[in-house]
Amino acid sequence: MSVMERIEVLKERFEGKILENADLRNYSFMHTGGHAKYLFEPYSIADLELISEQFGEVKCIGNGSNVLFRGDIDKIVVISRTFNDSVSIEGDTIRSSAGVSLPVLAKKAYENSLTGFEELVGIPGTVGGAIRMNAGAFGKTVFDVLTEFSIFETNSGRTVKMSPSDVNFQYRNGGLQEGQIVVSGTFKLNRGEKGAILNKMFNFSANRRMKQPMKGYSLGSIFKNPKKYPAGWLIEECGFKGTKVGGAYVSEKHANFIINDGSATSEDVLQLIDMIRTQVFKRFNIELELEIVVL
Q: What is the pLDDT of residues 252-278, one digit of tens each?
A: 999 999 999 999 999 999 999 999 999
Q: Say what the pLDDT of residue 89 is.
A: 97
Give 126-146 pLDDT, tens digit per residue: 999 999 999 999 999 999 999
CA distance 10 to 2: 13
Q: What is the dihedral of CA 289, 26, 216, 219, to 10 degrees?
A: -20
Q: 253 with 211: CB under 8 angstroms?
A: yes
CA distance 251 to 240: 9
What is the DSSP annotation of 79-140?
A: --TTTT--EEEETTEEEEETTSBHHHHHHHHHHTTEES-GGGTT--SBHHHHHHHT-EETTE
Which H or E element spans position 218?
Answer: strand 217-221
Q: What is the CATH number of domain 213-294?
A: 3.90.78.10
Give pTM, 2 decimals.
Answer: 0.93
Output 3 or 204, whichever has higher pLDDT: 204
> Which residues are designated catalytic?
172, 221, 291
> Quick one: 195 exposed, middle or buried, by C-beta within 10 A (0-12, 13-18, 19+)?
exposed
* Residue 278 φ then ψ, to 5°: -60, -45
CA distance 5 to 264: 36
Give 162-198 pLDDT, tens digit per residue: 999 999 999 999 999 988 999 999 999 999 999 999 9
Domain ranges within the chain, ordered by starting residue: 3-77, 87-195, 213-294
Q: Say what the pLDDT of residue 3 is.
A: 84
* Residue 228 φ then ψ, to 5°: -85, -40
CA distance 130 to 135: 5
Q: Say what the pLDDT of residue 34 is.
A: 95
Q: Say what the pLDDT of residue 146 is.
A: 98
Q: What is the CATH number of domain 87-195?
A: 3.30.465.10
Q: What is the dihedral of CA 225, 269, 251, 66, to 10 degrees?
A: -50
CA 127 to chain centre: 8
pLDDT over threshold 90, residue 202 = yes
**DSSP, res 11:** H
Q: Say what the pLDDT of residue 78 is.
A: 83
Give 87-125 pLDDT, tens digit per residue: 999 999 999 999 999 999 999 999 999 999 999 998 988
Give the mean pLDDT of 230-240.
98
Give 52-87 pLDDT, tens digit per residue: 999 887 888 888 999 999 999 887 888 876 787 789
Q: What is the CATH number of domain 3-77?
A: 3.30.43.10
Q: Say what the pLDDT of residue 83 is.
A: 80
Give the mean pLDDT of 233-238.
98
